């Protein structure tokens, strides 16, 4: 992605602030270089793109904020499968092992609903878990699950 496109996504006030800051840094560098008799040539590229784990955390945080704002109507926005995949992806990126109970609690999914989702995701080879007790054993993304989550995060 080019720097111009990254700046295009920013709100107008942030773009203007970044451009003013970049110009001030450029002037300061030129003055320092002039004082030292050096030549400094740099190209500012704008903000760094967040990595995939940061994007997943942001998506999950956005979903939780929306659910908190919706209160008792939050179930209208329910996508337990996506919440489970996001949490598992974050755990994968952090190198954490997560068991089914913890996963369901983190996703705010009732155990019976969560069990069905875990089995459905396992049947589609997106996660690995014990089919006899998915909530009691470690749960992890398969390679296909990682790729699916990455595609969805990139599209978000």
Other Cβ atoms within 10 Å of 103 Cβ, number: 25
Residue 127 backbone dihedrals phi, psi, to 5 degrees? -130, 160
Which structure tokens are listed for 121?
A: 């995701």
- Domain ranges in the chain? 1-49, 52-155
**Residue 41: which pLDDT band, with cuts at 50, 70 and 90?**
low
**Residue 27: which pLDDT band, with cuts at 50, 70 and 90?**
confident
- Average pLDDT value for residue range 118-144: 93
The model scores a pTM over 0.85? no
- Average pLDDT value for residue range 53-69: 90
Average pLDDT, the chain: 84
**Residue 10: which pLDDT band, with cuts at 50, 70 and 90?**
low
pLDDT for residue 95 is more than 80? yes
Q: Are 46 and 69 in contact (CB under 8 A)?
A: no
CATH of domain 52-155: 1.10.10.10
pLDDT for residue 140 is more than 80? yes
- Average pLDDT value for residue range 104-109: 92
- Average pLDDT value for residue range 126-149: 92
Which structure tokens are listed for 84?
A: 């489970």
Eight-class DSSP state of 71:
G
Q: What are the start-end ranges of the H helices in the chain? A: 3-9, 12-36, 52-70, 80-94, 100-107, 111-123, 143-155
**Residue 87: which pLDDT band, with cuts at 50, 70 and 90?**
very high
- Average pLDDT value for residue range 64-89: 89
Looking at residue 2, what is its pLDDT? 46
- Average pLDDT value for residue range 22-26: 80
Question: Across the strands, what pairs with 138?
Answer: 99
């Amino acid at each position: 992605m080019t720097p111009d496109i990254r700046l295009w996504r920013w709100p107008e006030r942030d773009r203007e602030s970044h451009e003013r800051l970049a110009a001030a840094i450029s002037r300061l560098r030129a003055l320092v270089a002039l004082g030292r008799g050096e030549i400094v040539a740099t190209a500012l590229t704008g903000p760094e793109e967040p990595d995939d784990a940061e994007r997943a955390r942001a998506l999950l945080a956005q979903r939780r904020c929306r659910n908190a704002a919706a209160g008792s109507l939050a179930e209208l926005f329910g996508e337990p499968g996506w919440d489970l995949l996001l949490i598992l992806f974050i755990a994968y990126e952090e190198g954490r092992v997560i068991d089914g109970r913890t996963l369901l609690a983190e996703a705010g999914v009732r155990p019976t609903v969560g069990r069905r989702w875990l089995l459905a995701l396992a049947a589609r080879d997106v996660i690995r878990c014990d089919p006899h007790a998915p909530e009691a054993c470690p749960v992890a993304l398969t390679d296909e699950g990682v790729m699916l989550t990455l595609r969805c995060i990139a599209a978000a």
